[in-house]
Amino acid sequence: MYIDVSIETWHKNTGTHLFYLYTTGNHGADRFEIDAFRVFKELINNENGLWKDKQFKSIDNSWGAVKVTKSDIIDFIEKVNKEIRGDSADNMEKVVVLDDDKYYALVGCES
């Protein structure tokens, strides 16, 4: 199983990959990636997710992207950290320098 949660630019419903927050790469899914993807799906849940009203696009149940701000990304990482009781995200140094006034796509993919 491969799981990726990444950040992309958000421009007219298309994006350019910026960096991964969680990725299984070639090592297979660890708890961080599994928990991150689960939290992502909980946030975008149509019925009771905190982000159910955010702009969202998907291909199927395995890939989706939600329009977020830098603070949303940080909130997401904090929720994952709480689940695993530790620090979890790759590329945190790239998150903190994201523009506060721009929108990004938080992309979740499972295959």
What one-character-per-residue DSSP string does 26-85 give? TS---HHHHHHHHHHHHHH-TTT-TTTTS-EEEEETTEEEEEE-HHHHHHHHHHHHHHHT
In the chain, the percentage of residues whose pLDDT exceeds 90 is: 28
**Could you give phi then psi for residue 6, rounded to 5 degrees?**
-135, 170
Q: Which two tokens stand for residue 25?
A: 């790469």
Find the distance separating the first CA and the last CA of the chain, reported in whole Å. Answer: 6
Give yes or no for residue 95 having a pLDDT over 80.
yes
CA dist., res. 31 & res. 20, Å (int): 16
Q: Which residues contact 110 (CB under 8 A, 6 or more apart)?
A: 1, 2, 3, 37, 62, 63
- Residue 103: which pLDDT band, with cuts at 50, 70 and 90? very high
What is the residue extent of each domain of the chain? 3-110
Q: What is the pLDDT of residue 30?
A: 60
The string of pLDDT tens digits covering residues 6-47 is: 999 987 766 789 998 888 765 555 667 788 888 888 888 888
Instruction: Write down the mean pLDDT value for the chain.
Output: 84
CA dist., res. 110 & res. 44, Å (int): 15
